[in-house]
Structure formats: structure tokens, C-alpha cells
């Protein structure tokens, strides 16, 4: 697809144009970090913008969402109402390519062959994804490719103060057409290509074959030793999608984020818990991302955004977990799985 | 020699003699300025131990998680948490060897008044800081108009994503099943609406009343920057004024809210004396 | 596509208390609209999420059979908040039912085969659905011999007593062996645990298929007996119970390895389970 160049103010003008028809969400600086909020229609994220505090899954699969509303009426059948499917057109500007690719992973879950989540699907189809490439990796980042196009409709790369705009989908094309921007010249394209080629090596996240053999390995107990089983890593993970469904007392059936790290997650009403300790729970999180998910959907459920690394209260660094797993001996393994 | 060296020597000795199975301390973390809990089971690994700014995670928590005979490298707040856990019958004092050292932290916990261990089996003297026993932060906060105070609490609470990091790192939050997880009845909704978040944070603050040692771990652990230490400190101050007790300073004093005396102040009870 | 979170409304038509302890009830529910009844197409072994507004939702195996048109039945033991609320229901109350969910018993693989149905306690629900389906006149010729072993601690605990004793016992197209753990006055059927009775009454076979549902300890001791009788792991099926919420493979809590019990199960062959972690 096409590539364009935008100079300084042009990006702003284009976004202002988009904002006339759609709700534009952009990284907005709050007291404790960046968050996606309605764009102020005048400023672009500053140089200190690394990534948003919360992952963008929140914009498609909100932390809590009403699935059904109901009213109980004495002596009559209850009234049950399904909330409207969201219809507003949105643009997410400034999302990082790692996070954009997480949406493609989530699509496997919420827009599967057998069941489709109507709320998630509506938001996905109403939202244009305009991602902004990072200039360098942050200290806790370990994405494979800074310039990944996965999940983006439009990818914007800042080169020498101007913007190289790569159109990746028809939806992206439609949002860009007719604004009179110049097609990117060879010089800027070459420069961007060079940036793409000269990325530093990062951690190899493929531990699939190793995981096949270490389900019963004592390494899991060791790895989880300092874990406190809170939900930081899973709630801030752009690909973690576990949820609970509960009824509140005020007439709503609510879906809310849940976490495989919580003891209550798999505990049955009888008291039996298939994952009774932190060992099974950490193993589940790692196996899910690097073995179960790839086995089902042929992709690792970790995009390397580094939020879990940055925010873990005890500095349990998933990069070290990956390396320790890669290095562990598999003599005490079950080859059953 | 340095405190760190003494720590290493002591840890090595305990492990080599077989007095303990594990020494819980800190190692260098992977992020700047942050140390990470470290479990030494092999005497040679004591070399990885550190004792420096950034060793702030309250390690008392881990003593509940493991069943081995353990030594813990503890600063003031860790030892106060240990004291409380022993008093509440959560921890067998005999199972733990406390290697006490003064808090190496240089920046956090400005209001800390006990950087030195309050109990220890081995006390390695560090650089004891000046005690800073004042509640001036509370005084200035309480002078704010109620609207502003309310807004502050609401603002903090509304940031919460209910990951329970604050609860899970807190040595005083050791309930096997927390009220937020109970469903017969369900006490609290699972949303992050301010009302649900408020129930969580206020209940937790009250539940750790008289037991919170002000280690600040809940604030450091929070990924969203929620800081409700003002609540904990207010309760701490009240407990101190009403019962003349500071939590976790010795093994003999009963925890004020775990005990009943006829002349307990009880203005906060329904029908109790009026408070000024 | 239908919103997968939206339940059908169903009305409680009848409630049978199954055990003297009164902790086990069977609920007979009817669809409120004919259209819903037509849309709810299921096979034995599938389950549904039953919801009570303001309380919540939980999964239960469907005990009725597809031929029992317009209605569904569920047998529910009182253990938690939702089951507690279900036990408070009265005739005429409305509940939500979301489903059918899960894979169900492998009907096609069972066709033409002799079947051994083994159940214990209140886990007999979807096995009842299966047997009811098989003995339907239009289906019966598709299956070979059917032997049923159903065990309980005592006679009081047996589910669907009336049907089992007055109908199934008298049929000549199935053999049913009811058993209780210890002798009891007036009991004229088998006595002993399910594995022992299975060993006694079931003939060795190289091609029959066994369908086993019951408490973990029963399954644990029945499997070696079945192996001894010549049943290979690919000819033994069971239905798993896990904590579930969404029932549609999204909420992430009922996985065993990369399989979701709610969507890829709840029915698995032992051969499949042997390849999965034992995390259930």
C-alpha cells in the first residue's frame, strides 16, 4: 500500500480533520502517566511519551462492562435488557506498534470461529488504529520489531522531524485519502528502512519446545518464590483477557477483568482448586502465553510491551523467567503434554 | 566492615551450619533503583545479596509463604511486621532467625520513625537515622476544607484497577480469603467504580488498623500511583493517641484492637462518647 | 449471530427433591416462548449456564434429552451461592438459561457400539440424558447393547428413582445395575462400590465404549477395572467439572493445557486427557 510524507503541522491538521467525524483518542498525560483519552485537538504526545500506563485492551474490552441490565418486578417476569452495541466511530492515535499487535491476538479470543463477543467486535470494527513507532526501546521493553505493522491501519514513523505515513489497510487508505499529502520520496523511505534494519537484537521469546517438556519441573516453584500473586502483570498485559461475570445488586450483569494469578480464579464452589498455589498459577500464566496460546493460535501471547516488568511490585521480570526457562534442564519432565 | 559484608557472613554461616534452609534478603533488580526479593538456599549465593537504597519491599510477607526454617534480613518495618505476625499467631518466632539491620533506604518513608529493627537475633548496626516522629503531614491535611480532603481520597481511589497488589504485598493482609473474594454474601462489586473501589480501600484501611506499621509497601506496589497512606497514618495516629500504642514495637504489648479493656475509649462506636 | 451472553428465559414447572437430605433437587424448566424452544438444539452431554438475576450464573449439565421437547431439566446440589438460590426457587419462577454449551457425548462415535454407562452420585445427570436419547425408539437401533452401572452411598441418593426403577429396570433393551455402598434394609439390587460392581457385571470387550461420570475417587478406581476389561483409553469417555463463567472459551479459567473444558469439553476421552496436564 501507499506511503506518504507529512511535514510538521500536517499531522495535526489531519488529526483535526479526523476528529470532525470520529472520536479521536490519544495518549494524554495525567499525573501518574499517559492514558488514552479524548484528544485535546491541539497537542501531540511529548518526547517523554513511552507508552500508556494501561494497555489499550481497555478501549475494546473495558475493565468492567455491563452485559445485561435487568429489573425484578414482584409477581411478574423480570425485565431483561441487552445494552446497545457501541456504534461511535473512533480513531486511536499514538498507540505503540506492540500494543496494536496485541489487538490481533485478542481478536482470536473475542472474535473466534464459534463465538463472537458483540461489544468487542463492534468496537474493533468502529476503530481506526493509527500507531506511532517508538524511537528506541524503553528499559523494560522487549518487542521483536519496533516497526511492526500488525494490527495497525496506519503506521507513522518520525524521520528527521517529519512523518513517514505507511498505509496498511483499506480502512487506513480511506482515512487518509484526499488530504493532499505528498507521496513519500525515496530518501525518507530509505532512511526508515535503514532504521528498521538496524534495530538491536532483543530477547527471543520462543520457548515453546522447552515448555513442552518442563510441565512438572521444579523450576516453577523456584520462579514463583517472590511472586505475591497480585494482578498487576495480568491487568497491565495487553493480551491477558481473563474475566469474571457477576451480578451486582443494582440490576446489572457485569463482566470485569479477572486474573489467573488470583487464588479465587479457579476455586470451585466445593472448595477444590486445580491451581491451589502460586506455583500452578505462575506456570499457567507463562504456559498460556508461550505454549497454550501458540498451540491454539500460532502466535505468542506476549508483545514485549514491558508493562509487567515495569510495574511488578517485586520485580519478577518476565524476561528473566523466559531466560531461566530456556536454560533449565528438562531431566525431571513429563513429556505427556 | 560494611553492613552488607556482615549480612553475607551471617547468612553464609546460618546456611552452612544448617541452622536455616533459606535466607530471605534482596538482590539487585532489573530496573534502576529497585532491588528484588532473593531467596538464598546455597551458601555460595550469598554473594548476590545487596543492602542498599531500593531494598524496600517488606520481606515479612514471605515468611508466611514458605514453611522452611528461614532467616530474614530485616529492617525496622519488616521486624515490626514480624512482631505483629507472631502476636497474631501467624508465625512461629522459633522458626525465624532475624538478621536485623538499619534501613538502607535513603529516600522513601520520610515519616519513618523506626528505621532500626525492633527485634533481632543478630543485630548488625547500620547507620541509624534520626527519628522523625511527627504527624505534621496529617495536621496540614486535616486543615484542608472537607471538600478538598474528600476530593483527594476520591481521586486516589478512582485510579485503582483492583489488582490487589497493595493487599498482597501487605504483611498485615494475611487473610486466607479476603472479603473481596467472598460470595456468600458478596460484600463488594467487581467493578472499578469509585463506590466499589472505596469499599475495598476503606475496609482494608480499617482492617489493618492498629496492625499497620506504616512500611509504605502498599503505595510502592501500586502500579497506578494510588497513595492512601494518609488514611493509614491517620488511623495510626488515632491508635497511638487513644490506646498509647505504636504497632509492632515489642512482643509483649497486645495489639490494641485485638484486645478489650473496660476503659477502652469507644467514642467511635454507635452510642459511644462523642468525639470532639 | 446471537449475543452469547443473553440467556433464554425459562419458567420453573416442577421441582423434585431427590435426596432425604434435601440438598439435591431436579428442576424442570419450560421455555417461555416456542421460538426459544426451537432455537435451543442440544445433544446429550452438553451443559447450560443457569442464572438468577442478582445472584449470578453457574454451569450445569443438561439432564433432559432432546426428545423431551419444550423443556430442560437440571439436577442441582446445593453447594454455593447460586445453587443455594436455586434451591429457594418455587414453581412459576423465572430463571435465565444460556446454552447449549460444550461438545456433548460423542454420539457419532457411539453409534453401532455396545455401551457401558457408569455413573456415581449426582453426576448421573448427562448420562441420564444420553440413555434417554438412546432408548428413544427412533434412535435405539443405532446403538448396540447398553449396560448401566449407577452407584450411590445409599438408596436415598439415587437420582430419578421413579424413572430408573419403574421404567428402565423393566426394559429389555437396556441392563441397569443399581448399587449402594453398604447393605440397606429392603434394597434388592447390587451392593458394593461402582468399580467392584462394574468388574462383576460388565463383560470384557474389545470394542465397547464406556462413559463414566462420578466423583474423582470413583473414576480413579473404575479406570483400572475398565482397562482390565479390555477398554482402551480411546474408548473411555468422561465429562469434567471445572469452574466456568463464560462457557464460550473466552474468560480463561477452565483450561487444562490448551483445551477449554467449556468449549472443547466437557466430554473428553481418557486418551485425550492423558495428553493434557493433570490440572483439574
CATH code of the domain covering residue C64: 2.40.30.10
The rounded distance, in Å, linking the Cα atoms of A79 and C32 is: 13
B273 within a domain of the structure (yes/no): no
Instruction: Write the pLDDT tens digit of every residue in C15-59.
Output: 999 988 899 999 999 999 999 999 999 999 999 999 998 889 999
Q: Is there a single domain that holds both residue B169 and residue B208?
A: yes
Task: Please tell me which chains touch B, using 3 or more CB pairs under 8 Å as the contact test.
Answer: A, C
Q: Is C99 helix (H, G, I), strand (E, B) or coil?
A: strand
C264 within a domain of the structure (yes/no): no
B202 within a domain of the structure (yes/no): yes
Pairing mode, strands B70-74 and B22-28: parallel
The rounded distance, in Å, linking the Cα atoms of A10 and A311 is: 36
Q: Is there a single domain that holds both residue C43 and residue C119?
A: no
Nearest to C80 among A77, A110, A269 (CB): A269
Task: Please tell me which chains touch A, using 3 or more CB pairs under 8 Å as the contact test.
Answer: B, C
Which residues fall within 8 angstroms of residue B193, CB to CB, at 6 or more apart? A64
Q: Is there a single domain that holds both residue B53 and residue B144?
A: no
Substitution target in B182, B183, B190 with the highest count of C β-carbons within 10 Å is B183
Phi and psi torsions of C121, nearest 5°: 60, -145
Task: Tell which residue, A228, A234, A279, A293, has the closest CA to residue A258.
Answer: A234
The rounded distance, in Å, linking the Cα atoms of A152 and A128 is: 8
Does the beta-carbon distance from B39 to A225 stay under 8 Å?
yes
The interface predicted TM-score of the complex, written ipTM, equals 0.92
C169 within a domain of the structure (yes/no): yes
CATH code (residue C130): 3.40.50.80
Angle between helices C194-201 and C216-228 (to 10 degrees): 20
Q: Is there a single domain that holds both residue C52 and residue C169?
A: no
Q: Is C95 helix (H, G, I), strand (E, B) or coil?
A: strand
Q: Is there a single domain that holds both residue B23 and residue B118?
A: yes
Which residues fall within 8 angstroms of residue A197, CB to CB, at 6 or more apart? none
**What are B's interface residues with C at a Cβ cutoff of 8 A?**
183-186
CB-side exposure of B166: number of CA atoms within 13 Å? 26
Burial class of residue A180, CB neighbours in 10 A (0-12, 13-18, 19+): exposed
Residue that finishes a domain, picked among C101, C118, C147: C101
Q: Is there a single domain that holds both residue C92 and residue C150?
A: no
Task: Tell which residue, C74, C106, C119, C124, has the closest CA to residue C265.
Answer: C106
Residues 65-104 of B with CB under 8 A from A: 65-66
Could you list the pLDDT tens digit for every one of the 276 residues in chain B?
589 999 999 999 999 999 999 999 999 999 988 999 999 999 999 999 999 999 999 999 999 998 889 999 999 999 999 999 999 999 999 999 999 999 988 766 777 888 889 999 998 876 565 556 678 888 999 999 999 999 999 999 999 999 999 999 999 999 988 999 887 778 888 899 999 999 999 999 999 999 999 999 999 999 999 999 999 999 999 998 888 889 999 999 888 888 888 888 777 676 665 544
The rounded distance, in Å, linking the Cα atoms of A176 and A1 is: 12
The rounded distance, in Å, linking the Cα atoms of A55 and A59 is: 9
Phi and psi torsions of A228, nearest 5°: -100, 10
Return the H-helix or E-strand segment holding C108.
Answer: helix C107-110
Instruction: Write the pLDDT tens digit of every residue in C127-146.
Output: 999 999 999 999 999 999 99
Q: Which residue has the cell 491535611?
A: B141
Q: Is there a single domain that holds both residue C44 and residue C21?
A: yes
Burial class of residue B267, CB neighbours in 10 A (0-12, 13-18, 19+): exposed
| Contacts with A241 from chain C: Cβ below 8 Å | 250, 252
Return the H-helix or E-strand segment holding A126.
Answer: helix A118-126
| Contacts with B165 from chain A: Cβ below 8 Å | 228, 230-232, 313
Q: Which residues form the domain of C43?
A: 8-101
Q: How many domains does chain B have?
A: 2
- How far is the CA of B8 from the CAs of A272, B42, B48, B49, B102, in angstroms? 42, 12, 9, 7, 15
B50 within a domain of the structure (yes/no): yes
B176 within a domain of the structure (yes/no): yes
Q: Which residues form the domain of B230?
A: 136-258
Q: Is there a single domain that holds both residue C151 and residue C39?
A: no
Quickly list H helices, B127-228: 136-142, 146-158, 165-169, 194-207, 217-221
Q: Is there a single domain that holds both residue B165 and residue B235?
A: yes
Pairing mode, strands B70-74 and B96-101: parallel
CA distance B92 to chain A (A): 20
The parts of chain A modelled with pLDDT lower than 50 are 332-337
C-alpha cell at B85: 505476625
Q: Is there a single domain that holds both residue C47 and residue C137?
A: no
Amino acid at each position: 500500500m501507499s506511503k506518504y510524507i507529512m511535514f510538521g503541522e500536517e499531522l495535526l491538521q489531519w488529526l483535526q480533520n479526523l476528529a470532525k467525524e470520529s472520536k479521536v483518542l490519544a495518549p494524554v498525560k495525567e499525573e501518574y502517566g499517559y492514558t488514552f483519552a479524548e484528544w485535546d485537538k491541539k497537542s501531540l504526545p511529548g518526547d517523554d511519551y513511552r507508552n500508556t500506563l494501561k494497555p489499550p485492551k481497555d478501549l475494546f474490552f473495558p475493565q468492567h462492562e455491563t452485559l445485561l441490565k435487568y429489573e425484578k418486578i414482584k409477581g411478574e417476569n423480570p425485565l431483561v435488557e441487552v445494552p446497545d452495541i457501541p456504534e461511535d466511530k473512533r480513531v486511536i492515535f499514538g498507540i505503540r506498534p506492540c500494543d496494536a499487535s496485541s489487538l490481533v491476538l485478542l481478536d482470536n479470543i473475542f472474535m473466534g470461529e464459534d463465538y463472537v463477543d458483540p461489544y468487542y467486535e463492534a468496537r474493533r470494527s468502529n476503530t481506526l488504529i493509527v500507531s506511532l513507532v517508538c524511537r528506541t526501546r524503553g528499559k523494560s521493553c522487549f518487542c521483536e520489531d519496533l516497526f511492526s505493522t500488525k494490527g495497525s491501519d496506519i503506521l507513522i514513523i518520525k524521520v528527521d522531524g517529519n512523518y513517514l505515513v505507511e498505509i496498511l489497510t483499506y480502512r487506513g487508505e480511506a482515512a487518509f485519502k484526499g488530504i493532499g499529502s505528498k507521496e513519500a520520496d525515496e530518501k525518507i523511505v530509505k532512511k526508515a528502512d535503514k532504521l528498521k534494519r538496524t534495530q538491536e537484537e532483543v530477547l527471543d521469546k520462543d520457548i515453546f519446545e522447552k515448555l513442552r517438556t518442563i510441565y512438572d519441573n521444579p523450576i516453577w516453584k523456584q520462579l514463583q518464590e517472590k511472586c505475591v500473586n497480585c494482578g498487576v502483570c495480568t491487568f497491565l498485559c495487553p493480551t491477558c483477557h481473563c474475566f469474571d461475570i457477576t451480578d451486582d445488586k443494582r440490576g446489572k450483569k457485569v463482566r470485569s477483568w479477572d486474573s489467573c494469578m488470583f487464588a479465587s480464579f479457579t476455586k470451585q464452589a466445593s472448595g477444590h482448586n486445580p491451581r491451589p498455589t502460586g506455583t500452578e498459577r505462575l506456570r499457567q500464566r507463562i504456559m498460556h502465553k508461550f505454549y497454550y496460546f501458540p498451540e491454539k493460535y500460532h502466535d505468542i501471547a506476549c508483545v514485549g510491551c514491558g508493562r509487567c516488568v515495569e510495574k511488578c511490585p517485586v520485580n519478577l521480570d518476565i524476561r528473566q523467567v523466559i531466560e531461566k526457562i530456556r536454560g533449565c534442564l528438562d531431566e525431571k519432565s513429563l513429556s505427556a503434554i | 566492615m560494611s553492613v552488607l559484608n556482615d549480612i553475607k557472613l551471617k547468612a553464609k554461616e546460618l546456611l552452612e551450619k544448617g541452622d536455616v534452609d533459606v535466607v530471605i534478603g534482596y538482590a539487585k533488580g532489573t530496573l534502576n533503583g529497585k532491588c528484588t526479593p532473593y531467596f538464598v538456599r546455597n551458601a555460595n549465593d550469598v554473594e548476590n545479596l545487596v543492602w542498599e537504597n531500593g531494598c524496600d519491599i517488606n520481606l515479612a510477607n514471605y515468611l508466611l509463604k514458605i514453611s522452611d526454617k528461614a532467616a530474614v534480613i530485616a529492617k525496622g518495618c519488616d521486624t515490626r511486621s514480624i512482631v505483629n505476625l507472631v502476636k497474631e499467631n501467624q508465625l512461629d518466632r522459633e522458626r525465624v532467625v532475624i538478621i536485623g539491620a538499619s534501613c538502607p533506604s535513603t529516600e522513601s518513608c520520610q515519616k519513618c520513625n523506626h528505621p532500626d529493627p525492633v527485634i533481632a537475633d543478630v543485630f548488625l548496626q547500620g547507620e541509624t537515622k534520626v527519628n522523625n516522629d511527627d504527624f505534621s503531614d496529617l495536621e496540614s491535611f486535616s486543615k484542608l476544607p472537607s471538600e478538598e480532603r474528600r476530593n483527594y481520597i476520591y481521586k486516589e481511589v478512582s485510579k485503582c484497577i483492583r489488582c490487589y497488589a497493595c493487599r498482597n504485598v501487605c504483611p498485615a493482609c494475611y487473610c486466607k480469603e479476603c472479603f473481596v473474594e467472598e460470595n456468600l454474601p458478596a460484600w463488594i462489586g467487581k467493578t472499578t467504580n469509585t463506590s466499589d473501589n472505596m469499599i475495598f480501600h476503606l475496609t482494608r484501611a480499617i482492617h489493618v488498623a492498629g496492625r499497620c506499621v506504616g512500611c509504605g509497601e502498599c503505595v510502592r506496589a501500586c502500579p497506578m500511583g494510588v497513595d492512601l497512606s494518609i488514611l493509614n497514618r491517620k488511623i495510626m495516629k488515632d491508635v497511638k493517641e487513644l490506646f498509647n500504642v505504636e504497632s509492632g514495637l515489642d512482643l509483649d504489648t497486645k495489639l490494641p484492637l485485638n484486645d478489650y479493656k473496660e476503659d477502652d475509649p469507644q467514642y467511635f462506636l454507635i452510642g459511644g462518647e462523642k468525639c470532639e | 449471530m446471537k449475543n452469547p451472553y443473553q440467556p433464554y428465559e425459562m419458567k420453573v414447572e416442577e421441582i423434585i427433591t431427590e435426596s432425604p437430605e434435601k440438598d439435591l433437587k431436579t428442576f424442570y424448566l419450560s421455555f417461555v416462548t416456542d421460538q426459544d424452544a426451537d432455537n435451543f438444539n442440544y445433544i446429550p452431554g452438553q451443559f447450560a449456564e443457569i442464572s438468577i438475576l442478582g445472584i449470578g450464573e453457574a454451569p450445569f449439565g443438561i439432564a433432559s434429552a432432546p426428545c423431551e421437547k419444550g423443556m430442560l431439566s437440571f439436577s442441582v446440589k446445593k453447594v454455593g451461592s447460586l445453587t443455594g438460590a436455586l434451591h429457594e426457587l418455587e414453581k412459576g419462577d423465572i430463571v435465565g438459561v444460556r446454552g447449549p454449551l460444550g461438545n456433548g457425548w460423542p454420539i457419532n462415535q457411539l453409534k453401532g457400539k455396545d455401551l457401558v454407562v457408569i455413573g456415581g452420585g449426582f453426576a448421573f445427570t448427562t448420562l441420564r440424558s444420553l440413555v434417554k436419547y438412546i432408548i428413544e425408539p427412533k434412535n435405539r437401533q443405532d446403538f448396540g447393547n447398553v449396560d448401566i452401572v449407577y452407584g450411590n452411598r445409599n438408596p436415598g441418593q439415587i437420582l430419578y428413582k421413579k424413572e430408573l426403577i419403574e421404567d428402565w429396570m423393566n426394559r429389555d433393551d437396556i441392563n441397569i445395575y443399581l448399587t449402594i455402598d453398604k447393605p440397606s434394609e429392603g434394597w434388592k439390587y447390587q451392593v458394593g462400590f461402582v468399580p467392584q460392581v462394574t468388574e462383576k457385571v460388565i463383560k470384557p470387550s474389545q470394542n465397547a465404549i464406556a462413559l463414566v461420570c462420578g466423583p474423582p475417587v470413583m473414576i480413579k478406581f473404575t479406570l483400572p477395572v475398565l482397562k482390565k476389561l479390555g477398554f482402551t483409553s480411546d474408548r473411555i469417555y468422561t465429562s469434567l467439572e471445572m469452574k466456568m463463567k463464560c462457557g464460550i472459551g473466552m474468560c480463561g479459567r477452565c483450561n487444562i493445557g490448551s483445551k477449554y473444558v467449556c468449549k472443547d469439553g466437557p466430554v473428553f476421552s481418557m486418551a485425550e486427557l492423558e495428553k493434557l496436564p493433570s490440572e483439574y
